Amino acid sequence: MSDNVKEFTSANFDADVIKSNTPVLVDFWAEWCGPCRAIGPIVEEVASEYDGRVTVGKLNVDNENQLAMQFGVRSIPALLIFNKGEVVNQIVGAVPKTKITDILDSVI
């Protein structure tokens, strides 16, 4: 993971995602997921480009399955965009970078 991509866990999710003052992109992923590995570099690019405007992080569903269930994640990769503690948008599957950036631009 790059310096701009946080690792979200149940220990920091409330403070870093729910109570964040900036929009947050959470990448729900797993080690064994091919499409997750394919979208990983795109998520890192987005994290660099939106540094300071959007918090970007990854949440491993194998380690944090309770959080995945809480937010209804059934397929991965799933990118959930939070703003003011609420999910405002969701992207499922490996998608082009422009789809992610268009959604982020509409939130910030």
Q: Is there a contact between 79 and 36 (Cβ–Cβ < 8 Å)?
A: no
Check whether 5 has a pLDDT greater than 70: yes
Per-residue pLDDT reduced to its tens digit, 70-98: 999 999 999 999 999 999 999 999 999 99
Calculate the average pLDDT of the chain: 96
Catalytic residue among 33, 42, 59, 67: 33
Catalytic residue among 36, 42, 76, 100: 36
Q: What confidence tier does 1 reach under pLDDT thresholds 50, 70, 90?
A: low
Per-residue pLDDT reduced to its tens digit, 35-46: 999 999 999 999
Class of domain 5-102: alpha beta
pTM: 0.96
With tokens 């701009």, the residue in question is: 4
The answer to whether 36 is a known catalytic residue is yes
The answer to whether 54 is a known catalytic residue is no
